[in-house]
Amino acid sequence: MNTAHSTVKNAWQIVATREVMTKVKDKSFVMGTVFSLVIILAAIIVPFFFNQGGSTYIVATTDDRSVSMVGSAASLQADIDDETSIEHQNFGSADEARSAVTEGDADAYLHPTDDSWELVFDSTVNQELATVLTQAVTSTVTAENAAAQGVDLSALSAGTSLETTLLTGDDNSLIALFVGLGFAMIFYMTTIMFGIAIANSVVEEKQNRIVEIIATAIPLNQLLIGKIVGNILLAIGQIAVYAAAALIAMNITGTANDFGWILPSAGWFVAFYIVGFAAIATVWAAVGAMSARAEDVANLSNPITFILVAALFAGIYTKGTVLHIISFVPVVSSIAMPMRLLTENVEFWEPLVAIALTLLAAWLLTRVGAHIYRNNIMRGGSSVSWKQALKR
């Protein structure tokens, strides 16, 4: 007797396991996951390969002073971009150097004139090479002129350095914005996808009258809990696969250190994702129970979709005080708070309060959703409107 009672009490685990196993065997789910995985990996790996094997500029020279100038330019370029290098190739005469440029054996020809310097290209000016050589010539010749005039160049240039400072954000603000957009889209798309999966699963069992058989063996609450838990586990598992693949790709490409600052925000995003999805998961089950056919799910899910779209746009496009306020609004906070964590300094208690409010909303919505689910899961005939469901 105790064994049977225990089995019924833990029946949600069986239901959750069935939800997971059914989904991972579904070809559309697997293909969708693989496609998303390919997109994520491509976004990290493709730019890495495009940036491999940086350019090497060959500058033709005909005298020792030009060789020294190219060396100065190479040092400057190494400080700017270590993937791009500048080298010199000495020629016996100016004609030979010009011919090398014309034939493509050299990118440019540098040489001094009577009172200046000349940089010769073939048909178009390479601005990157021209800029760094101009800087080298300017700094070197200025130092030489200062020494000739007995001027202390270091004293002359004292106080001329300029540092840039941002009033809001930091140097990673653009990356943070794109990462925040990625978080927002993941929450929106997976919540819609798994939510509709819950609703369709419920309406399918209702249409086939399987739920009536199941209800004789286990309580409806256990069935509902199993469906919710199973889909939450699937969603978390999918995100974990994406995150693991991204981390592996970043380690392979050597960019992990550059994006390490994102990890704390990513951890908070996972937490907000779980509680945000849990807040509306039962409502999706209620949509399935209210539907008479699979076609009814689309119409009845419009209010949820509208809320998720509003949360998506609010989290992406609002700023300042408005973003601060909505980052505490349940469900919306699952997008807005991770965005704030990426783009501004947030007090340690703020995400905790936002999660607590979302958990409270999840408890309330779960009670409402479960009530609607129980009242309509056995109901046949036409679908039930939200007004009718809430009135009951």
DSSP states of 85-148: EEEEEE-SSHHHHHHHHHHTS-SEEEEE-SSSEEEE-SSS--HHHHHHHHHHHHHHHHHHHHHH
pTM: 0.65
Q: What is the mean pLDDT of residues 317-336?
A: 91
Whole-number average pLDDT of the chain: 83
User: By C-alpha distance, which of 235, 192, 280 is closest to 24?
Assistant: 235
What is the spatial distance between Cα 272 and Cα 328, in angstroms, rounded to a whole number? 11
pLDDT, residue 306, reads 92
Q: Provide the 3-class DSSP secondary structure of residue 158.
A: coil
Q: How many CB atoms are closer than 10 A to CB 61? A: 20
What is the spatial distance between Cα 341 and Cα 176, in angstroms, rounded to a whole number? 9
Cα torsion 326, 330, 332, 335: sign: positive
Please give the order of strands across the beta sheet that includes 85-90. 85-90, 56-61, 108-112, 117-120
What is the spatial distance between Cα 338 and Cα 112, in angstroms, rounded to a whole number? 57
Percent of the chain with pLDDT over 90: 17
User: By C-alpha distance, which of 47, 52, 124, 44 is closest to 84?
Assistant: 52
At residue 31, φ and ψ (nearest 5 deg) are -65, -40
User: By C-alpha distance, which of 33, 97, 86 is closest to 62?
Assistant: 97
What is the spatial distance between Cα 113 and Cα 128, in angstroms, rounded to a whole number? 22
What is the spatial distance between Cα 193 and Cα 196, in angstroms, rounded to a whole number? 5
pLDDT, residue 1, reads 44
Q: What is the mean pLDDT of residues 360-382?
A: 86
Across-strand partners of 59?
88, 108
pLDDT, residue 173, reads 66
Per-residue pLDDT tens digits for 6-62: 456 678 888 889 888 988 888 888 888 888 888 878 877 776 666 555 678 899 999
On the question of pLDDT at 310 being above 60, the answer is: yes
Per-residue pLDDT tens digits for 148-166: 777 776 776 666 555 555 4
Which has more confidence, 217 or 357?
357
What is the spatial distance between Cα 276 and Cα 330, in angstroms, rounded to a whole number? 7
Per-residue pLDDT tens digits for 275-300: 888 888 899 999 988 998 888 898 89
Q: Within 208-326, where are the H helices?
A: 210-215, 220-253, 263-290, 294-300, 302-317, 320-326
Per-residue pLDDT tens digits for 245-270: 888 887 777 666 666 667 778 888 88
Confidence of residue 174 (pLDDT cuts 50, 70, 90): low
Confidence of residue 95 (pLDDT cuts 50, 70, 90): very high
What is the spatial distance between Cα 348 and Cα 191, in angstroms, rounded to a whole number? 27
What is the spatial distance between Cα 208 and Cα 293, in angstroms, rounded to a whole number? 10
Confidence of residue 5 (pLDDT cuts 50, 70, 90): very low
pLDDT, residue 9, reads 64
DSSP class of residue 169? S
